[in-house]
Every structure is written in structure tokens, then in C-alpha cells.
Amino acid sequence: MRIVHLLKTCIPGTLLLLPVAAAAQRLTAEDYIARWQDVAVAKMKEHGIPASITLAQGLLESGNGNSVLAVKANNHFGIKCTPDWSGGKVYHDDDRRNDCFRKYRDAADSYEDHSRFLLRPRYADLFTLRPTDYKGWAHGLKKAGYATDPRYPSKLIDLIERYALHELDRGQRSARPPKEEPPTSTRSATRRRSGEGEEVTVNVGGTRPVERHAGRIKYVTARRGDTYAGLAEELGQIPGLLARWNDQDKGSALQEGQVVYLQPKRNAVKAPAPHTVKAGETLWGISQQHAIKLAKLAAYNGLAPDAPVRPGTVLSLRKPKR
């Protein structure tokens, strides 16, 4: 979660990136920058926040303007409702089910709200920095508690330098093409078979491969240093919901090679074959292996979800017949 005060939430972590537009209609980073750089510069002149920082946060928080909140609520920074909010509202799962988020008549209002948020005393030290010190601002936001993701400053800095957003802070134009952008010709899709059924691996434009367990449940494989918040940013998901689909808290550590499902697991497996526990296995790990909900797996076998399981134990992956 990005902001942890004002009833714990105001700007959530890189979240609510569920894509709602067709692929052909999705905004690129360049499209987003070209559309909103003038607004970011205007807010910089009005409030003193570097335009590069504002745009980088907008890119990161809204998924280039393609998130549910950006499209449906003109909310580019994930700002949540507070008791004094009297405007429009939309609801999405985040830290809690049906969390309330602000809805704006125009996305420019989201930019203004974001600027006013950073004018709070908590961020006063940022305004002692030079307006061209985007690196200082990026690290200062993290230090002030804006983000819990340790990679947040580097993500902002990467976006700023990739698209030359710092030129806006000096009164120049930006929206340069990104460096080392993979060509369209690198897009590919591969298909393979698994023992449980067909799995599909799709790798488009160099992005992380998304596979299907038994031809149904989408998942990715965690890499070293991955977090639920980081994956949500990258894949267009909500951190809390993504973690819930994997029967974990969104602050849970991800291990390299871990399967991370991008949609709810099944209530049971199709094949009636049971699972024989091997040394070192856990109930949660078995639920991930078979893409079955942990609570269901535990209930089918008369166990608590956190109960240890002994090697050699035979577990039912379906509701026992009576």
C-alpha cells in the first residue's frame, strides 16, 4: 500500500491495474505522457512538485492510464475515499473487499488531488529539494512513507529516465520513445502439453510469460525479488486480490520459482486421483500444485488450513462421497 495514513489508506500500492480496454485501444506510455504532460507541468508550476515525478507516479499507479480506476473513475493515483470526501465513489477489492475509491469528473481533478495530497506536512521535506532533483524526490517519497515497496524509488527513476521526463522539469518537452524497446517481431506464442492437461505459454513483446494450469487457471512464475505489489503493477492486477487468489497475505514473501495464480483457483480437481504427501510438502504448497483452494483442500481432508501434513498421507482433492 502506498499511503498508510488517513484511515490507513489514501493512495494504494500499484494496484487496480485490471485492464478493461481491448489490446488495440490500450494506451502506451508515450500516449499517456503526451496526453498528461501539460497537466503535470501546470501542477508543477502551481504546487512545486516536479512534473517528472507526477507523471512517473501516474504511469506506475494507473498502468499507463489503462487501469479500471483510470478508465472508469478518472482516478490515476489510486486515491481512496476519506470521511470528508463528498464526490463520486467506486468500489474495488484492495486491502479489504469493496474498498472505496474516489471518482472524478475529469482525470485532471485526479492530478490536482494528488498534488494537494503531497502538500501535507508529512512531505514538507521534499519541497526543500531542487525541482530538478527527481532522484531526491523519488527516494524522499519512499522515506516519507509514500511507498512500502523498496523498489519504488528505482521504478520511478527508471520511468523518468526511460522517457526523459526530467526534461519537463527544465521546461522542455518529453515523451521520448523508451530505450531498447523490443520490436513487434519478437512477439510469440508457444503451446505445450503437461501431464494434467494442456498448458499454454504466451510471451508477447518480451513481457513475463503467462501460463495456464491444466489449460484453465492463469499463472506466472515468481522471480527473485518479486512481491505481490510488484507483480500487480506489472501484470495489471490488484495486490490484495492477487494474494487472496494464492491463499496468502499481500505482504507475503514470494520465492523464486513460486507459482502465482492470476485468477481464483478451483474448488476441486477434475481427476479423482488423490495426492500422496511427500517429504517437505505443506498443505498450502499442495493447493498451489493442483490449483485448488487451500480452504477446500483442508476441508475435504478434515484439516485446518495451517495444519502440518506427514509424508505418506493421502489427501483427497475432491469432496469425499458419502
pLDDT digits (tens, 9 = 90+) for 66-103: 888 888 899 998 888 888 888 888 887 666 777 888 89
Considering the domain delimited by 275-315, tell me its CATH architecture.
Roll (3.10)
Residue 3 scores a pLDDT above 50: no
Please, what is the average pLDDT of the chain? Answer: 78
Rounded to 5 degrees, φ, ψ at 196 are -90, -15
Report the pLDDT value the prediction gives residue 264, as an integer from 0 to 100. 87
Residue 199 scores a pLDDT above 90: no
Rounded to 5 degrees, φ, ψ at 71 are -75, -45
Rounded to 5 degrees, φ, ψ at 197 are 150, -175
AA identity, residue 203: N
| Mean pLDDT calculated for residue range 264-271 | 84
Considering the domain delimited by 23-169, tell me its CATH architecture.
Orthogonal Bundle (1.10)
Closest-CA residue to 176 (of 303, 16, 29): 29
Spell out the domain ranges in the chain. 23-169, 184-239+250-261, 275-315
Beta-sheet pairing, 259-261 with 211-213: unpaired
The total number of residues shown for the chain amounts to 322
Q: How far is residue 5's CA from residue 228's CA, in Å, rounded to a whole number?
A: 21
Report the pLDDT value the prediction gives residue 93, as an integer from 0 to 100. 66
Residue 63 scores a pLDDT above 60: yes
Report the pLDDT value the prediction gives residue 178, as an integer from 0 to 100. 45
Residue 17 scores a pLDDT above 80: no
Scan for cell 522542455, then name that residue: 172
Residue 192 scores a pLDDT above 80: no
Report the pLDDT value the prediction gives residue 193, as an integer from 0 to 100. 33
Residue 53 scores a pLDDT above 90: yes
Scan for cell 472508469, then name that residue: 72
For 213-230, what is each residue's pLDDT tens digit? 875 788 889 988 889 888
Report the pLDDT value the prediction gives residue 269, as an integer from 0 to 100. 85
- Cα 66 to its chain centre, rounded Å, is 12
Q: Is the pTM of this model over 0.75?
A: no
- Asked whether 39 and 30 are in contact (CB, 8 A), the reply is no
Residues whose CB falls within 8 Å of the CB of residue 84, separated by 6 or more in sequence, listed in order: none
- Residue, of 148 and 152, whose pLDDT is higher: 152
Residue 58's pLDDT band, with cuts at 50, 70 and 90, is very high
Q: How far is residue 124's CA from residue 298's CA, in Å, rounded to a whole number?
A: 50
Residue 111's pLDDT band, with cuts at 50, 70 and 90, is very high
| 3-class DSSP state of 160 | helix
Residue 135's pLDDT band, with cuts at 50, 70 and 90, is very high
Q: How far is residue 123's CA from residue 141's CA, in Å, rounded to a whole number?
A: 7
Q: How far is residue 53's CA from residue 59's CA, in Å, rounded to a whole number?
A: 10
Residue 140 scores a pLDDT above 90: yes
Got the DSSP string for 8-47? T-SS-SS------S-GGGPPPHHHHHHHHHHHHHHHHHHH
Rounded to 5 degrees, φ, ψ at 316 are -85, 135
**Beta strand residue intervals within 22-160, DSSP E:** 88-92, 99-103
